[in-house]
Structure 1
Amino acid sequence: MNQVLDILINGLALGSVYALVALGFVIIFKASGVMNFAQGSMLLFGGYLTAVLHEHIGFLAALAVGVLATAVLAGAVDRLLLRGLDPSQHHILTILTIGVDILIVTELARRIGGDLLSLGDPWGNEVVALGGVTVPVSRIACIVVSVLVIGAVFAAFRYSSWGLSLRAAAEDREAAALMGIPLSRIRTLAWCLAGALAALAALFLTAFPAPGLERTTGQIALKAFPAAILGGMTSPPGALVGSLLIGVTEALAAGYQSELSGFGRGLGDVAPYLVMITVLLIRPHGLLGTKEAVRV
């Protein structure tokens, strides 16, 4: 029973982190129709800034700088690199984000080298006893902060003018433009929000019991991509559901690795993709995604 509870808490914590990144994928896709494969590099950028600044200006200030700088970088990618291209050529824009990711990751990997960087989080390696199991405080903080942030994002979708405009643009871009909705501003704000969420996710991906930030940390973030696909690329609630499912599945595969040794080592690394493929064979549009109606 204790093992199940431990796995469940770890799975929820992982799913919470993946949800922050997966929401970024979904928000950008809804706003611009682009699958942004630069999310991993945005996460690495935000984490790197927090890591190098926290000793000089303190943890909270460094985290704020990392989140805001990553939001600005993501918005700049949209404004400077993608804006001049044909917005209907989604596949070209998606490929361009891969190039952006390679450039940013290459430079950050050069700066990080073989080091392991701490982001200076206040929880350190503290643990608490919860239901008979020992749980890192960072896991609890991850779940609590993610719930608050995701709740705020969902509230923005539902109640803010930006959220209403984003939903209108996702339904029909031409009609939204004719109604005076500033599509370019809505799109840039979506990219900025996705970048900020990725930078925040870096904090919990690198906190104890993880060893810290390394040059490959951005690759871990790409596990959130199956979560976004699994839930449906047009559905923010689907991204949340898909992320929790992926997180719990990965934790189960890692927790019962010895019992699953017949499938080979490292099953937890491929489990998210196995779940994605299985679900998409049954529901090609994702768990909560909707099928588009195409007029012919």
Structure 2
Amino acid sequence: MSNLFGLVLNGLSLGAIYALIALGFVMIFKATHVLNFAHGSVLLLGAFVVGTTHDRFGFWLALLFGIAAAALAAVLIDVVIMRRVRAADLGTLAILTLGVDVLMLTELTRQMGTSILTTGAPWGTDTITVAGANIPVSRVVAALVTVVVVAVLWAVFKFTNYGIAMRAAAADGGTADLMGIRLNRVAATAWGVAGALAAVAGIFLTSFPSPGISPTVGLVALAAIPAWVLGGFDSFPGAVVGGLIIGVVTTLSAGYQGDLTFLGRDLAQVTPYAVMLLVLLIRPSGLFGTKEVARV
């Protein structure tokens, strides 16, 4: 029972990181209806900047550099590429982001080579014990940051002009444009915020117990896609719930891999997608998604 409790706690803390990534997917989709598959490379860029600058500037300043770099990269993807083809169908837009992802990942891989970078995070390899279960401090901090981010986003979208503008753009972009809402500004802001969230998630994703920052991190980040789809493409609460579910499923699958060998190897990499498919068979729009949202 204690083993199960520990796995669930670690799964929830991992799910908090997936939730941060999934929130970025939702931000972009609500503002522009783009399925952004370049999100993993943007996350890797933010982590890479932190990994290459923390020795010189210290962790916290390097973190600001990483967040700024990821946010700027995301905005440039929108302004330079996506804005020019905004009227294209969802499939074309998704393929474009895949192309951007390949280009970014290739260049970042070339820059890193075979090196494994570290984040220089102050929590290091520290752990805390909760009811006999050891949890990395990085995961605890990630959970706390996720709570703060969700609260801030809720307040922004509930009480600010930008929140009203985004809700209007998501509901009916054409009418919002006629009412004077600057859709390009809304889109660029959404991409920038999503990039910043990706950089923050990247720090936790590459902290202990992860071995560090490597080119594979961008692919690992895409494990948040099942969380995004499971919760609903356009739902912020869904991104959080989906992230927590996928985190727990992944951790339990890895923890009990030895007892489930008949299902094959690397079960933890498969089960998130299996859960996603099962939920979509029952609720095609996800747990909290809007039914009218178009799908690719």
**TM-score with structure 2 setting the length:** 0.96
Quote the Cα distance in structure 2 between the aligned partners of 1:120 and 1:192. Answer: 24
Aligned to 1:262: 262
The AA in structure 1 aligned to 2:273 is Y
Q: What CA deviation, in whole Å up to 9, does each residue of 1:12-31 have, x standing for no partner? A: 11111111111111111111
Q: Equivalents in 2 of 1:235, 1:201: separation in Å? A: 19
SS at match of 1:115: coil
Identical aligned pairs, as a percentage? 48
Note if contact 1:28-1:190 (Cα within 8 Å) is conserved in structure 2: yes
Q: 1:160 and 2:157 equivalent?
A: no
What SS does the aligned partner of 2:291 have?
Answer: coil
Residue number in structure 2 paired with 1:17: 17
Which residue identity is paired with 1:260?
L
Rounded Cα–Cα distance in structure 2 between residues aligned with 1:105 and 1:222: 13
In structure 1, the partner of 2:8 is 8
Over residues 94-124 of structure 1, what are the superposed CA-to-partner deviations in whole Å (9 max), with x where a residue is unaligned? Answer: 1111111000000001111111110100011
- Structure 1 residues 293 and 116 mapped into 2: Cα distance closer, same or farther (>3 Å)? closer
3-state SS, counterpart of residue 207 of structure 1: coil
| Contact 1:32 1:87 survives alignment (8 Å) | no
In the alignment, the residues of structure 2 paired with residue 276 and residue 114 of structure 1 have an alpha-carbon distance, to the nearest angstrom, of 33
In the alignment, the residues of structure 2 paired with residue 124 and residue 93 of structure 1 have an alpha-carbon distance, to the nearest angstrom, of 39
Q: How many residues align?
A: 294
The aligned runs of 1:21-170 (5 Å cut-off) are 21-170=21-170
2:197, 2:180 → 1: CA distance?
28
Kindly report structure 1 stretches of 4+ aligned residues shifted beyond 3 Å: none
| Aligned-pair CA distance for 1:71 | 0.4
Deviation at 1:293, TM superposition (A): 8.4
Q: How far apart are 1:84 and its partner, in Å? A: 1.6
CA deviations on 1:123-147 (whole Å, 9 max, x unpaired) are: 1111222211222211211111121
SS of the counterpart of 1:138?
A: helix
Amino acid at match of 2:139: R
Q: Where does residue 193 of structure 1 map in the other structure?
A: 193
| Structure 2 unaligned blocks of 5 or more | none
Q: Determine the C-alpha separation between the residues in 2 that align with 1:217 and 1:239.
A: 20
Distance across 2 between alignment mates of 1:24 and 1:87: 22
Tell which deviates more after alignment, 116-125 or 86-95. Answer: 86-95
Whether the aligned pair in 2 keeps the contact of 1:13 and 1:143 (CA below 8 Å) is yes
**Counterpart-to-counterpart distance in 2, 1:227 and 1:119:** 25
Q: Distance in 1 between matches of 2:278 and 2:218?
A: 25
Q: Secondary structure at the match of 1:98?
A: helix
Q: So what's the TM-score if we normalise by structure 1?
A: 0.96
Q: 2:154 is paired with a residue of what secondary structure? A: helix
Match of 1:247 in 2: 247
RMSD of the alignment, in Å?
Answer: 1.3
- Could you tell me which runs of 5 or more consecutive residues in structure 1 were left unpaired when the two chains were aligned: none
2:69 aligned counterpart, secondary structure:
helix
For the residues of structure 1 that align with 2:111 and 2:160, how far apart are their CA atoms? Answer: 39
Give matches, 1:276-287, under 5 Å.
276-287=276-287
Deviation of 1:258 after TM superposition, in Å, equals 1.4
